[in-house]
Structure 1
Amino acid sequence: MARHAAEPHRRRDRRALLDHVYSYYRALNTGDPDKVAEHFTDDAIHYYTRLGPHEGARTIGEHTKWAVENLAGQWYIDHAI
């Protein structure tokens, strides 16, 4: 069965989502807790593989700041679709 071409509005939606993801990664790499927190709601929970969950936008931002300052944390996107 042939696939249909994506509808224009769906391509726009995907582009907007990818733009948001790229914005989040740029914020992460600044280590600025406010910029990171802007990408989360106050009730967000971020789960890590080796740490307990971080709860709330501000807490998530502060942990990112700590990672950048103490671990030279950097985040990358190699591919996105």
Structure 2
Amino acid sequence: MHYFLLLIPYLAPLITLLRYYSNMVHYFLLLIPYLVPLIPLLWYYSNMAHYFLLLIPYFAPLITLLSIVVYCSQSIKFYI
């Protein structure tokens, strides 16, 4: 599972593209720098850290819902 951590540098350009070309997910992307240090800490100091990685697919619907809520709130402000 530690090979997953090696993919993080390859995700950085994708994150940058999403941040500049999508107005729905940039709020979530601002949280990523705060989440990244937690991954090595969990990995090295807990033998259950790999279970955390298994939770990532469950976060995807939450991220989608958050992006929809942010998008809708922006469009409501636009019309008001």
TM-score, structure 2 as length reference: 0.32
Q: Determine which structure has the larger helix proportion and give its number.
A: 2
TM-score, structure 1 as length reference: 0.31
Q: Determine which structure has the larger strand proportion and give its number.
A: 1
